[in-house]
Structure 1
Amino acid sequence: MSRFSFSWKSYSLRWAGLVSLSALISGVFLLLHLTAGMMLGPMIAGIIMSLKGRAVTVKPVFFTMAQAILACVVVNSITLSVLHHIFSHWALVLLSVLSVIVVSFATGAGLAWFGVMPGTTALWGTSPGAASTMVMLCGAFGADARLTAFMLYFRVIMVAVATSLVSWVVVRTHHDIGIPPLTQGNLLPTLSLIILSTLISLKLRMPALALLLTILIGTALQLSDLLHISAPFWLRIPAYLIIGWSIGLRFTAPVLRYALRSIPAVLLSSLTLIIVCALLAFPVAYFAKIDLLSAYLATSPGGLDTIIVISANIPIALPFIIAMQTARMIAVVTLGPTIARPLGRWLERHARTPLSEKLIPQTKD
């Protein structure tokens, strides 16, 4: 009994340490106005605990439920008003979205071709936007979730810094930044949808199904005006924690060393995507007849939450920005897996052998 008590106490202390470390790191990111810190903090904390041999286990049911919760964030942005803005500028939106997707997959293919990353992982890791969704889906399509998360969130930080600087230069004034406001909606029906999607996914043993089911059912109900999906910030926090921990705790010393070794190449690919998106802002501003800052924010390859928070109290064309970002998110979530799987397999057959296969021991993860 004493041995069991000691083991339980040790495990509880590990969880306490993980939670405390996550809160500390996330707090630092939020002070720096990086909303992605809500997932980055837990992920970094998980990496530290794993490397120190103090890892804990996140049960699959919680990871599956976290996917359903973040799917509600996706659905929450798909409204009739947003769709109206998309269809009003359909040619411009289509050209912009396709251009960014082509460039992102081209940079990913480059990373795979030169052996920096495995083909499928490189393509998922260069997806333009929808970072949390891509991290959740990539594992089911053969990508390494750890390296994918590293690539995506490395770029998220770069985009957040670049966007903050551009906003400051254009507006030439500082502005208050806070947590995104609570999203209005029907909370209880939304929670019911989350639980239903989670149970179906667990029953069929298809982890990504929870995310896809929630998006499909939620979007149909919301556009039919039968239900308005609620995704308040407090509901997202546990999802960010669980997903961050699930990824971070799977890191090993070889994986981390390899990720750090690939930083120059990942930095170059991220800069390429950021610059291309910035250049796209000029024709978007001209044809949509909006200011250049709004066009830049609309084409920026960062998350919508980050864009909204950074642009707080700035007079911008927010409906157009949300429409453009939402259109790209939908395209990335729907087209990404379709393109990444065959292209990734082709690259893995024809490109250089990725260094990860030589430096990272293969696991069942």
Structure 2
Amino acid sequence: MARVLRWVLLVAASVAVTVPLTLAGVPSAGLFAALAVGVVLALTALAPAGVPRPAGVVAQGVLGVYIGTMVQHDAFGALGSDWPFVVAIAVATLLLSVFAGALLGLHRDVTPLTGSLALTAGGASGLVAIARDLGGDDRVVSVVQYLRVALVTASMPLVVSFVYHPDTSHPASGVTPSAPAPWYLSVGMLVVLVVVGAAGGRLLRLPGAGLLGPMALTVVLQLTGLSFGLSVPAVLVQVSYFVIGWQAGLAFTAASLRAIARILPAALALIVVLGVSTAGLGVVLAHYTALTPLEGYLATSPGGVYAVLATAVETGSNVTFIIAAQVLRVLLMLFASPLLARAVVWAGRRFSGHKPAMTPASSAPIRVAD
């Protein structure tokens, strides 16, 4: 009975915190709320023992399909002949992220892999979901990733207003979504994509197969026009956010919280450096394409996709190009960062010896399937 009451308290508190965060426009509010509530209940000994492994795998798959539906059938066509520059900028952003993560990994409380995942500039919720699968500490990854998203989102209006001085008298039209499929068709496709994607990803030894397998299949369906208007029901997205947030939050201890507090100054400094660096990449992108400096900044922003879209519409910018560039960045980060993060770990072990994980809880990664 006590176990049931703990779960009821966890769910009720998470929902209660999610509602105001959603109204305030916080990105992935459910994940952030579940993380915060999980931390509080774990530190007060009122939390359940942990999230069952199958629930974590299913949540990853649902989130993978949800991210995959961001890709529109003709989205990348909007890049036109400028696509090589956009790809080059995205790769440069990835390398900057991994380098910043390697610097964070020099801290005694962070492994190189955890540092790389924590500072990867894109796909915050997805990286939190697969951090433990890859052997990283999802507590550190979740805190630093959401610090990055919060700083980028909060600073964007100030940067746009004081640096670019945009003309907001002629707003652009937003991206017109395609007609969604009936809910029963979407749910049926979702189940198939999660099961087949996770199983296929595991057979192919894909890092983070629970998330990346279903996401890869969904992207293929979107690009080939065979998704039939697939959309993930909002309630399933929220439940997945909750599960992923709880998975990280319930693992917190007083010791791990103190360790994370010690790394926050370094993480904050590296996030600022990463933001300034990507803004510089935006200047380069604008120079070699037909984009304005503002559009270059928005296309290369290291996070805050929803804030980017709103700003692009409000300022009359090239919305289709900017969103295509942002989606490409997120997909590249999610697919490539696990491989590069592992390369960082290999290099660290080879040249400086293996450093143990921050806490014992992060040294036993959850497998994609038992």
Whether these two folds match at TM > 0.5 is: yes
Amino acid at match of 2:184: L
Structure 1 pair 94–198 and aligned structure 2 pair: CA distance change class (3 A): closer
Partner of 1:21: 13
Structure 1 pair 213–201 and aligned structure 2 pair: CA distance change class (3 A): closer
Pairing 1:276-287 to 2, within 5 Å after superposition = 276-287=277-288
SS in 1 for 2:321: helix
The partner residue of 2:32 within 34, 40, 45 is 40
Q: Is the 8 A contact 1:43 1:248 kept in 2?
A: yes
Alpha-carbon shift at residue 23 of structure 1 (Å): 3.1
Query: 1:192 aligned to 2:193?
Result: no
Partners of 2:135 and 2:80 in 1: CA distance: 34
Partners of 2:103 and 2:42 in 1: CA distance: 31
| TM-score between the two structures when normalised by the length of structure 2 | 0.83
Q: Mind listing any 5+ residue stretches in structure 1 that lack a counterpart? A: 1-7, 175-179
Partners of 2:266 and 2:259 in 1: CA distance: 12
Partner of 1:329: 330
Partners of 2:258 and 2:197 in 1: CA distance: 34
Alpha-carbon shift at residue 348 of structure 1 (Å): 4.0
1:107-166 Cα deviation digits (max 9, x unpaired): 111122353521111111111101111112222222111111122111111111112322
Q: Is the 8 A contact 1:254 1:361 kept in 2?
A: no
Q: Is the 8 A contact 2:135 2:364 kept in 1?
A: no
Query: 1:124 aligned to 2:117?
Result: yes
Alpha-carbon shift at residue 257 of structure 1 (Å): 1.0
Partners of 2:38 and 2:20 in 1: CA distance: 16
Query: 1:225 aligned to 2:258?
Result: no
Aligned-pair identity in percent equals 24
SS in 2 for 1:262: helix
Partner of 2:264: 263
Amino acid at match of 1:88: S
Amino acid at match of 1:15: W
Q: Is the 8 A contact 1:116 1:354 kept in 2?
A: no
Partner of 1:100: 93
Query: 1:78 aligned to 2:71?
Result: yes
Partners of 2:220 and 2:22 in 1: CA distance: 34
Aligned residue pairs total 350
Alpha-carbon shift at residue 34 of structure 1 (Å): 2.0
Partners of 2:96 and 2:295 in 1: CA distance: 21
Structure 1 pair 132–308 and aligned structure 2 pair: CA distance change class (3 A): same
Partners of 1:256 and 1:210 in 2: CA distance: 28
> 92-101 vs 231-240, which deviates more?
231-240
Partners of 2:57 and 2:145 in 1: CA distance: 20
Structure 1 pair 199–353 and aligned structure 2 pair: CA distance change class (3 A): closer
SS in 2 for 1:140: coil
Structure 1 pair 182–116 and aligned structure 2 pair: CA distance change class (3 A): farther
Structure 1 pair 127–105 and aligned structure 2 pair: CA distance change class (3 A): same
Q: Is the 8 A contact 2:285 2:296 kept in 1?
A: yes
Structure 1 pair 188–164 and aligned structure 2 pair: CA distance change class (3 A): farther
Q: Mind listing any 5+ residue stretches in structure 2 that lack a counterpart? A: 170-174, 366-370
Partners of 2:199 and 2:224 in 1: CA distance: 28
Query: 1:239 aligned to 2:240?
Result: yes
Amino acid at match of 1:287: Y
Partner of 1:5: none
Pairing 1:280-359 to 2, within 5 Å after superposition = 280-309=281-310, 313-351=314-352, 357=358
Amino acid at match of 2:225: D
Structure 1 pair 190–348 and aligned structure 2 pair: CA distance change class (3 A): farther
Partners of 2:321 and 2:294 in 1: CA distance: 12
Amino acid at match of 1:85: A
Partners of 2:176 and 2:28 in 1: CA distance: 16
Structure 1 pair 196–350 and aligned structure 2 pair: CA distance change class (3 A): same
Partners of 2:326 and 2:252 in 1: CA distance: 31
Alpha-carbon shift at residue 310 of structure 1 (Å): 5.7
1:251-295 Cα deviation digits (max 9, x unpaired): 111111111111111001111111111122222233332333332
Partner of 2:152: 159
Amino acid at match of 1:156: V
Structure 1 pair 108–194 and aligned structure 2 pair: CA distance change class (3 A): same
Q: Is the 8 A contact 2:130 2:208 kept in 1?
A: yes
Partners of 1:237 and 1:183 in 2: CA distance: 22
1:217-271 Cα deviation digits (max 9, x unpaired): 2222222222233135444212211211121111111111111111111001111
Partners of 1:46 and 1:181 in 2: CA distance: 37
Q: Is the 8 A contact 2:295 2:312 kept in 1?
A: no
Partner of 2:368: none
Structure 1 pair 204–88 and aligned structure 2 pair: CA distance change class (3 A): closer
SS in 2 for 1:219: helix
Structure 1 pair 40–164 and aligned structure 2 pair: CA distance change class (3 A): farther
